[in-house]
Amino acid sequence: MTLALSFCSNVFADNWTNSNDIKSTFINYQGNTTRKNLTDLSINIQTHYLDKFDLLFAYNHTKLNAGQGNSSRQNQLTVGANWFQYFDKIEGRIGWQLKNYSLTTPSNTIADITSGGISYLDYQKSFYLDTLFTQSQYINKVINDYTVNQANLSFEFSPRLKSSWLSFQLIAIDNADNLLFDSTLYSANFEWTQFLYRTGFPLPMRFIIGLQIGEQRYLVLQRLNSVNNSPDAQTASYWVNATWHISDNSQLGLSIATSEHQTDLQEKYNSTYSSILLNIKW
């Protein structure tokens, strides 16, 4: 019996792995009369079974400080799964993704969001392609409920195999009810990742620089489990991220960004973003 339990435990440990993220975010707004700053704390738990499927659970708690002692709080619960199939004829892996995001306040449900898609990664891990569709159902007691649809197309590749990674993401956002904006919004995100393969401070093991062009509203970033339900438009953004190797099972990431925004009244303002993330695998 002891031998059998030990064997089962070893098989479970070999087949299953866990990746956990703890992330703290601070955003400061400049030139906005209704927003001063925002803080967010998130916990992300992802379980992997071999290279066949992943299960995801994430929780975010956000506090928005509007100034003059006014603030609001929001909770986000994310659950999701990825399932992978391998095909030698196309020399790669097909991935299927499904996620659900639930946004709530202490007294109300804000939105229910469902996202799904398909991806391809070649065996050499030098080329990646995905397409995702997201539907966000927002509940509003002042005006009618409204729906926001989002379509993503990502193309990523390694121009220098295993030393760098280039990512292009095209995004289309449409308000199906025309209550928020009349026309479809188009934007693009670009990222360059450079791998340095260092083992500790002060040099990171990798760093990322990125930018956004075009207008985005009610954006859902599936890879980051991020939902931006602000009614204001984000018209541009620039960011830098660095990740350090702490141990064989842990990494530390730091991000900073600056963004430009615009309200429906054509009022412009800026924001600065900073975050720290600890990743632990076991």
pLDDT tens digit sequence for 195-252: 987 666 788 999 999 999 999 999 999 988 999 998 899 999 999 999 998 888 999 9
249 vs 233: CA distance, rounded Å: 39
Domain containing residue 266: CATH number: 2.40.160.40
DSSP E strand boundaries for 68-205: 70-87, 92-104, 109-122, 127-138, 146-157, 164-175, 185-195
Can you tell me the distance from the alpha carbon of 145 to that of 118, in angstroms, rounded to the nearest whole number? 29
- Count the domains in the chain: 1
What is the phi/psi pair of residue 20, to 5°? -120, 130
* Residues β-bridged to residue 49: 16, 53
Q: Residue 203: which domain range?
A: 2-281
pLDDT, one tens digit per residue, over 101-137 is 999 998 889 999 999 999 999 999 999 999 999 999 9
Question: Count of CB atoms within 10 A of residue 17's CB?
Answer: 14
The two three-digit tokens of residue 171, written as one number: 């995004």
pTM value is 0.89
